[in-house]
Structure 1
């Protein structure tokens, strides 16, 4: 009955639209009260969930991304991407995907990608003659590349939960992220040719070189982050702080578009965004502790293993489960609640933890573009000023493309494990 209270309150909260973090907290509190457990357990478990040195890099990477974005990075990345692929059929759509791949190395979050690039590219694509639904769909879909290419907030969460090196997690996501981007560019090109979308004139090698030099300092941040982790000169948290200092110097003194008077506001904005993530982590940790105390992970593992111990079937079952969960739950909450139980199951059948973590995060990234709780879908629909239904229809080819990449990463482990094995051993 106590579990019925927990899941009943949780489901009711989601159905009436209460934010996931609050729903997790309220349902956990209802369980504690029903069981007669002192509610002082709740703040204790919340604190335990966020008391991690690794999690300190989340505010750092968010601040670094906001500083770079306020310092003119978005326009420079779009200009470079446009000079590179804009001359092809559907060039602005290809620019959209390429821009997301480059921007992903700065922000670490899909939501920041969708809001920043979408605010510029969706109106631009509509003005150039692209349908509004396609413009919103390609922006929402391509934004999911961001958390796969380092740095990545979901990867940091997974590292904190499992003890897997965050540096290895960052590198494990790089190849799948690039595959996602390339696959979506192919999809964009095919749709553009079929529907006769416009193309731009080739702007010349001079513009390509100028745009690259303009975007160089922004792109170099990814090299700085990965290089610091690979060489072992800095922890993820230290790397995040270095990235903040670098972003401030580039935005203020190299690009010259970041007035110092704006910095306090950017810091406050980043602190609020970080607090929202860490509050979600705290509430989800209470929820997860309840599941563990009720032996839910062991029950799930036993139930699945009673059906099959074939790891390929288990990978398929886990992917189906996470795709369904991603439709209804925010990524970080889903990771905190489900990752450890599913990792235990995966390790029980011989799946490498790094490989499992990579395809689990990729899976939940797809959930950011699926209704009814696809955050990136909502952001891009609002920017395009469209109802959700036409954007959902337009995004289906991209979701199918990403699912194909997910299956490739799930069933061919070297796509996730090869890069960390050669760079961090």
Structure 2
């Protein structure tokens, strides 16, 4: 019914205006529009009637039965321009420099009318009391789509480019999603680790157009495992996490330190060595594990022969990093006869021997002597960890006993000897 009345007004006023017509615009020199976005600024322009005494413009909100009167238009060429006019909701602040303020919500219908005679018309109480002159209508619609901005802020309100451990604020700037004067909500999808979870962003104030929600990044080092979650989703260090809301996407990596382990490749069983961390200066926390078991570091030792997994968990500030390496633990060194019985070795034969489990010694040597006589001799061991002993060179013969001794220069506890009885 209201729409029919409005169109009747338009037709009638067109006849009365003798070619003059009124139109809504979003800019003084812009095109005529029939839709006005809520929260926008607009103008009303009278065209086709250069000589007129019209000074008063009446704008009526049909849905709210509320009107406003504007006077003092600006003449631009052969047009009269009223504005700028703010189209606001009850919760919107009034902008500076406005010629008038019209209160309306999305869905309302505005009617603008002017009396070409210049008469001051009373505020109408209904559609039939509009001034006898040109008029125009415009529907108030949802806000215009604008470029939206999605950020992640730290506790100081600064934008971040990676996710360390802590609590952040998801910050969406989307004025076009602020439609009503109620505090509105937006759904955000957080994607990480092949899974997703929904978060609710809440408008910070009824007219702010800014939507926020806290999101926590938890890093928990328990035993020999580092568990990292973002809003409850398990993720790995360095993984990409996506934030998606209303067509805007933000992808950030989970922060990851890059420590490196500096370790010996081989050690003796029981030999202490230091786990050194490279690549991270002055870490705030260091945890070391051997074969999946926490140990007090950074000095450790291995109690069983064989390969052992060494892992380290390093924290600096709110960021973590991990590193892993393998260390081979060797059994006690042995001197092994090759092709002879040390209890009755031939006195006139050069003896072949091997040094077993001494690969951690880059330049091994053995000491050889005859029991009860002379000083020992130092004999180098080959790269294949074999060596020879000539009893005659030691002045030994049948009935004598030769001793052979080895000691690891880096781990004196790893030493061994062999007695060879000559016949």
| TM over 0.5, shorter chain | no
Q: Based on CA coordinates, which of the two structures has the bigger radius of gyration?
A: 2
Normalised by the length of structure 1, the TM-score is 0.17
What TM-score do the two structures reach when normalised by structure 2? 0.17
Higher share of residues assigned strand: 2
Judging by fraction of residues, say which structure has more helix.
Answer: 1
